[in-house]
Amino acid sequence: MDKYSFLEIAALIGIFLVLFLALFLLTVKTKYKLGNRLLAFFLFTNAVDALKFLMRDFPVNFINLEAFRWSINYLVPASFYLYVLSVCFSNFRLKPKHLWHTIPFIAFNLYMAYGIYFEDRASKVSFINALSESPIMQFFHILFEVLFQVYFIASFLVIRKSKTIYLENYTNPDISILNALYKITILYYALHFIVLIRWLVTFIFGLGEIRSWIVTLDGFAFLFCTCWYLFVALNKPEFFRGVNSDLKPIKEGIPKQKISPLTVEEKDKEIKLLKDFMLEKEPYLDSSLTIQDLSEQVKIPVKDLSTLINLYMDKHFFDFVNEYRIEKAMQILKDPSQKELTVLEILYQVGFNSKSSFNTSFKKYTGKTPTDFRKQAL
């Protein structure tokens, strides 16, 4: 069995897994339908692109379909970007303005209509043979690369912004979900880098042995990327949970300015009132506490409270609340009368809803695991 057979088998398995996952996303019952559909469409476009690995020769009997398959590539970067938005922001919705993302796809198909779709077979073959020298086709190649870079850089920025908003406005956010999305973005970006190498090798060496091995590597990378994404999705069933896109990072809403002594005195007073409230009322015991909830309880506008915690106290809301939870957990762990409580029971009691999040925060705050802390305290 030669390397081409291995490539075809790997591509076939990858395409099957991608289409199977896409079908699952379209049929599974969930409130995150938009994110599922966008991801399913993105996976479908990847499967269509991967059909190239199953072709040993140009499909002369299906030239129109092959030309349309080329055009699908112009939807891939945009669909991934919209998918990232749907994951990061819970209130993201598709709007008519998002149709602008389809312009490159439409433009390419208009070009194919001019040279392929409505021509006879001989004219189609002649047009395809001249494509490599066509300035318009070279423009579309450059356009695709520019679109890919822009959309994926935008995806990185959206993920980073979402993570910042999570930490500034929510407690118990599962940052690992955003970290996984970040890694997936990097993985697809790396997959595209292999494509760039293939283009470069083709330009320098032509259609030779080196290019064929790079194509083989590309095919196996596609299979690996698909399997890894499936692994992440299965381990993160709550993958689609985002923040409100109306929220902004605190640094975007607060202009830089010098703080007068009077302002510092006022802020010190507000900080004391906030800390007293946290100790007396213990709002942090609510695992779903958000900065909006705390704002209503402490009678401070959300924007002012966010500024107070994130800017003047120099802490994320996430860390601010979890410090009180850890302090409460330490009290329970040191109490001999509550030694029968398990660590799992304690973490739920103090407001955490994830054992991994509790252990990470506890070790960050104390330098020890909850179990080790209890052993030394009792």
For 219-235, write each residue's pLDDT tens digit: 667 667 766 766 666 56
State both tokens at 65.
């379909």
Of 346, 347, 361, 259, the residue nearest 307 (C-alpha)? 259
For 287-299, write each residue's pLDDT tens digit: 888 888 888 898 8
For 66-120, write each residue's pLDDT tens digit: 999 999 989 989 998 998 888 888 778 899 999 999 999 999 999 999 889 988 8
Q: Judge if pTM exceeds 0.85.
A: no
Domain spans in the chain, listed from the N-terminal domain onward:
3-235, 250-377
| CATH 1.20.1070 holds for 3-235 | yes
> Which residue type does 222 have?
F
pLDDT score of 258: 43
Q: Torsion over CA of 82, 88, 89 and 93, rounded to 10 degrees?
A: 20
What is the CATH superfamily name and number for domain 250-377? Homeodomain-like (1.10.10.60)
Task: Kindly calculate the radius of gyration of the chain based on its CA atoms and give it in whole angstroms.
Answer: 27
For 364-373, write each residue's pLDDT tens digit: 888 888 888 8
For 23-66, write each residue's pLDDT tens digit: 887 887 766 688 888 888 988 888 888 887 777 777 778 889 99
| Residue whose token pair is 């890919």 | 148
Of 109, 127, 121, the residue nearest 60 (C-alpha)? 121
Q: What residues have CB less than 8 Å from 308, skipping those under 6 apart?
A: 267, 270, 271, 274, 300
For residue 218, give the DSSP letter.
Answer: H
| Cα end-to-end span (Å), the chain | 65
What sections of 254-342 are H helices per DSSP?
A: 261-281, 291-298, 302-306, 317-334
> Which residue type does 38 have?
L
State both tokens at 277.
């409230």
pLDDT score of 242: 47
